[in-house]
A = this chain, B = another copy of it.
């Protein structure tokens, strides 16, 4: 069933090298030769074996796409953008789901076995050390949606989560809430930690405003809903900065389901600006994260690293902005 280069060579009555060359751009082949080979190849239905050639060229065009965020709808968009972007450059995403994997070493080994040319870690919850394991193994790596460090050890593309936390806090302050809280995602996620820290820094400048925080155990609707239901049993804050949109929507459901109104009784601001946030029946005020730019920039960076593997680690941070919708009360006039 499978047609090899040798068979094409025999049919065309030329050497194997000649066939190889007609399928390698930039090789020296005469027009006559090319036509002969292409004819034979067409007749036989030949197409070159990318993996065999990778043996000698040292490039597979395979890119590991590693993530553990398979429950946050925003990542469907992320995967869409990554796969299309990589495909457009002739690269092939080998998807790795780390949802329940404990040992990073294992996925490093696996991706090395498949000789991936590079790895994109697309996750806001994996620790920075994870991406480093690839770098240490000599595999070009970009951590998308990763933690911003001023002296990055691997390439990072994302947002400044600390600044987002501050932004959210400032916006709650500006609206005159005097009891606010941060409802984070999983406590161990760097994105949660950074958003909290920014939130606290900003709030510490307003000691008269009461602020607190708690964590949901995943970036998911259910986790957000559960955590908000728990908070509602006690004395809830007037407004919450939720760790991300899907958490916000879960929280929203808990609040309205408990007979309270948003933003009347409780205000909510999210982060991400996922497609759903603008649905009429959700209409979430949130901080917009420029996903498309982050993904495109990651891909561009990856491509650059394939050309120059020794490129120094770089952090590319994109600005976020607040999208005003209907889940926070208006800014006070005073």
Contact = CB atoms under 8 A, between A and B. Distances in A.
Q: Please indicate which of the listed interface residues A1, A95, A282 has the most CB atoms of chain B within 10 Å of its own CB.
A: A95
A65 B93 CA distance: 10
Contact of A253 (B1, B87, B275, B281): B281
A48 B254 CA distance: 51
Q: Please indicate which of the listed interface residues A50, A73, A225 has the most CB atoms of chain B within 10 Å of its own CB.
A: A73
Nearest to A61: B114
A114 B51 contact: yes
Contact of A99 (B62, B80, B252): B80
A15 interface: no
Interface stretch (A52-60, A175-183, A194-202, A203-211): A52-60
A130 interface: no
Contact of A249 (B49, B97, B113, B279): B279
B97 A83 contact: yes
A137 to B, nearest CB: 8
Contacts of A87: 96-97
Interface residues of A, number: 55
A225 B100 CA distance: 36
A112 interface: yes
Given A71-B76, A73-B73, A221-B275, A48 B113 contact: yes
Interface in A65-84: 65, 70-73, 75-77, 79-80, 83-84
A303 interface: no
A157 B27 CA distance: 45
A256 interface: yes
A330 interface: no
Contact of A95 (B83, B109, B249, B279): B83
A280 interface: yes
B97 A94 contact: no
A24 interface: no
A223 to B, nearest CB: 12
A279 B87 CA distance: 35
A138 interface: yes
B112 A47 contact: yes
Contacts of A49: 113, 115
B221 A279 contact: yes
Given A55-B52, A257-B280, A93 B92 contact: no
15 contacts: A1-B138, A51-B51, A51-B114, A70-B83, A73-B76, A75-B76, A83-B96, A83-B97, A84-B100, A225-B279, A249-B281, A254-B280, A257-B280, A257-B281, A281-B281
- By Cβ-Cβ distance, the 9 closest A-B pairs, closest first, are A70-B80, A83-B97, A253-B280, A257-B280, A50-B113, A76-B76, A1-B138, A73-B73, A51-B51
Interface of A: 1-2, 47-52, 54-55, 60, 62, 65, 70-73, 75-77, 79-80, 83-84, 87, 92-97, 99-100, 109-110, 112-115, 138, 221, 225, 249-250, 252-254, 256-257, 275-276, 279-282
